[in-house]
Structure 1
Amino acid sequence: MTDIPFDDGPFWLGGAGIGNLLRPVSDADARATIDAAWEAGVRGFDTAPHYGLGLSERRLGAALADRPRDSYLVSTKVGRLLVPARGEGDDLESGGFAVPDDLVRQWDPSPSGVRRSLDESLERLGLDRVDIAYLHDPDVYSLRDGLTQALPTLAELRDEGVVRAVGVGSNSVAALSAAVQTGLCDVVMLAGRYTLLEQPAAALVERCASLGVAVVAVGVYNSGLLGQVRPSAGASYDYAEAPAGLIARANAIADVCERHGVTLPEAALAFPRRADAVRAIALGAQSADQVRENVERAAVDVPDALWDDLRAAGLLEV
């Protein structure tokens, strides 16, 4: 198992929000978000070229520039190169980020593409190294090429001392399971598939524990549904409107949570950290207030009896 101290601090700050995910965020608000996380003891920061076509990496690098490099951890991702484009509009519809579309994402899992991606990320971040490099969403493009070309190249970079740990980030259980089977992963970033709402990745998490592969859980609010004390119609699930059945299930879980004196979001943050393999969770934010709210939620002591009662009610599988 890698020696990276994932669990220093309440959580890792996810960088999609400060890359203008779904809506614009000013430079000042992005900086305040990172500063609030730092003040709360957050020392892990995750980003990617995909997030705002490089905007997240640039903003994160600027905010960390005056802080001692050995006092924090940074992860970024490879697999998508950013190449110039005509830039006639914005990226919101095609990529999900409210930024100009003067760059376009280009899948390149080749050894040269992986090394170029990391070099360009380091330039945007203003750093000479990152701690973790993930292959980003290989299932979206070509899982086979990702696992036979990109992941071995990341392992070479680790062995060369360029990065400390490598792995794959995805919301696909099948993709992450295949990545773990290669024996090359130190860590996987598991998005939205091991949450209080649903646990299709339970077997994968157990497998990671047996192999010494660390898991960083992200999307623990299921893109918003579990982030509300009482989810209502129009709540987001998997970046779309949540079906009525899932809203009802989330509220049934909330009923049990309230009987134990905790809220649905507080339990959602506590749940994945119960698994031995889950070394950290990463939470995105677009304001300092969101960071502080998540810090307060993460500090809540959730009683073990809650999990027993959820299982007894058929609302929790593990």
Structure 2
Amino acid sequence: MVDVGVPSRFGLGTASLGNLYEPVSDEQAHAALAAAWDTGIRHFDTAPHYGLGLAERRLGEFLAGTPRDEYVISTKVGRLLVPDPAGAGRLDDAHHYAVPAEYRREWDFSADGVRRSLDASLERLGLDHVDTVYLHDPDEHDLGPALAEGLPAVAALREQGVVRAVGLGSKSTEALLAAARSGVLDVLMVAGRFTLLEQPALDAVLPECRARSVGVVSAGVFNSGVLATPTPSERDRYEYGAVPPEVLAKARAIADVCAEFGVDLPTAALWFSLREPVVRTVVVGAASAAEVRENHRRLHTPVSDELWNTLRDKGLTR
């Protein structure tokens, strides 16, 4: 496993800063990033997909005023942003981003596409390098061909010294397991598949990562929002959509147990995956400085082993 120098077990994801679900002003985005820096966060994750490049541009503008050797940054490849004049005048609602649809996403996992995607990201970020590059959601395209092209492409970037580590980020356990078994990657970003609500990555993905010394970055720990508040409700999201009744019932049952121990649901959700040694860090998004500070407070709130044991004994976690 390549050491990418992550100095913190808490990283900031930037999808919200790309206007995920709702607009965030430049000032709000800068304030959120400043709060992250002030609370000691030095791990930042982004992607071209997040707001059609908006998140990368905002992150780059903030980091321009910080020492490059004091943080690590990851971005993703697999989707090229191509100008789309037909999108003028409408928003990127199909992908849940409140940004003008002036570009379209074009899948490309070829060596040339991967390099062009990275170069475009570096331009938006205003950087000469990033630390980690992930193949992004190959399962949403065509998993087999995407891995056949994409794995050698990102491995070549590492061998050429362009990046320090390479990985794959996905919600699909099939994609994550295939990536872990490839023997090519240094790290997996496991999105929503090892959370307080559900743990399918325990079946094979995490054991494979342990066996092959592949690091894990845990993302989507709030499952798109249903674990983000102390009391889950029908207004929350799950997998970027409405919360199914059975999922909501389970989230509420978990929240009730957490409350018995004086711990709010989001605090437990943040801590859950960090208890697994193969998980190197948890990456959490935030749309405001207040959300960053609240997550920082939660990560400094002790959680007793008795809570985890009770959740397990009640069959609410594995």
| Residue aligned with 1:196, SS | coil
Structure 1 position 182, deviation (Å): 0.9
In the alignment, what sits opposite 2:2?
2
In the alignment, what sits opposite 2:16?
17
In the alignment, what sits opposite 2:271?
270
8 A Cα contact 1:206 1:277, kept in partner: no
In the alignment, what sits opposite 1:307?
308
| Residue aligned with 1:188, SS | strand
Comparing 305-314 with 68-77, greater Cα deviation is found at: 305-314
8 A Cα contact 1:47 1:57, kept in partner: yes
Structure 1 position 10, deviation (Å): 5.0
8 A Cα contact 1:61 1:127, kept in partner: yes
Structure 1 position 91, deviation (Å): 3.6
- TM-score with structure 2 setting the length: 0.97
Structure 1 position 101, deviation (Å): 1.1
Deviations along 1:22-58, one digit per CA (max 9) or x if unpaired, are: 1111111111111110000000000000111111111
| Residue aligned with 2:161, SS | coil
8 A Cα contact 1:205 1:275, kept in partner: no
Structure 1 segments of 4 or more deviating over 6 A? Answer: none
8 A Cα contact 2:9 2:280, kept in partner: no
Structure 2 residue ranges without an equivalent (≥5): none
| Residue aligned with 1:124, SS | helix
Structure 1 position 121, deviation (Å): 0.5
Q: How does 1:241-260 map to 2 (within 5 A)?
A: 241-260=242-261
In the alignment, what sits opposite 1:279?
280
In the alignment, what sits opposite 2:111?
111
Letter in 2 for 1:196: L
Q: Does 1:290 align with 2:303?
A: no
In the alignment, what sits opposite 1:142?
142
Structure 1 residue ranges without an equivalent (≥5): none
Letter in 2 for 1:14: G
| Residue aligned with 2:130, SS | coil
Q: How does 1:167-206 map to 2 (within 5 A)?
A: 167-203=167-203, 204-206=205-207
Q: What RMSD, in angstroms, separates the aligned Cα atoms of the two structures? A: 1.1
| Residue aligned with 1:227, SS | coil
Alpha-carbon distance between aligned partners in 2 of 1:53 and 1:91, rounded to the nearest angstrom: 11
Letter in 2 for 1:28: E
Alpha-carbon distance between aligned partners in 2 of 1:178 and 1:76, rounded to the nearest angstrom: 21
In the alignment, what sits opposite 2:52?
53
Comparing 87-96 with 71-80, greater Cα deviation is found at: 87-96
Alpha-carbon distance between aligned partners in 1 of 2:90 and 2:24, rounded to the nearest angstrom: 14
Alpha-carbon distance between aligned partners in 2 of 1:212 and 1:228, rounded to the nearest angstrom: 34
Letter in 1 for 2:265: L
Structure 1 position 9, deviation (Å): 2.9
Structure 1 position 150, deviation (Å): 1.3
Comparing 167-176 with 94-103, greater Cα deviation is found at: 94-103
In the alignment, what sits opposite 1:33?
32
| Residue aligned with 1:226, SS | coil
Alpha-carbon distance between aligned partners in 2 of 1:91 and 1:181, rounded to the nearest angstrom: 39
In the alignment, what sits opposite 1:214?
215
Comparing 121-130 with 241-250, greater Cα deviation is found at: 241-250
Structure 1 position 233, deviation (Å): 2.2
In the alignment, what sits opposite 1:70?
69
8 A Cα contact 2:236 2:243, kept in partner: yes
In the alignment, what sits opposite 1:80?
79
Structure 1 position 173, deviation (Å): 0.5
Letter in 1 for 2:102: D
8 A Cα contact 2:75 2:121, kept in partner: yes
In the alignment, what sits opposite 1:224?
225
Alpha-carbon distance between aligned partners in 1 of 2:31 and 2:217, rounded to the nearest angstrom: 24
Alpha-carbon distance between aligned partners in 1 of 2:247 and 2:11, rounded to the nearest angstrom: 27
Structure 1 position 90, deviation (Å): 3.1
| Residue aligned with 2:133, SS | strand
Percentage of identical aligned residues: 54
Deviations along 1:195-244, one digit per CA (max 9) or x if unpaired, are: 00110111311221221101111110111111111112222111111122
- TM-score with structure 1 setting the length: 0.97
Letter in 2 for 1:233: E
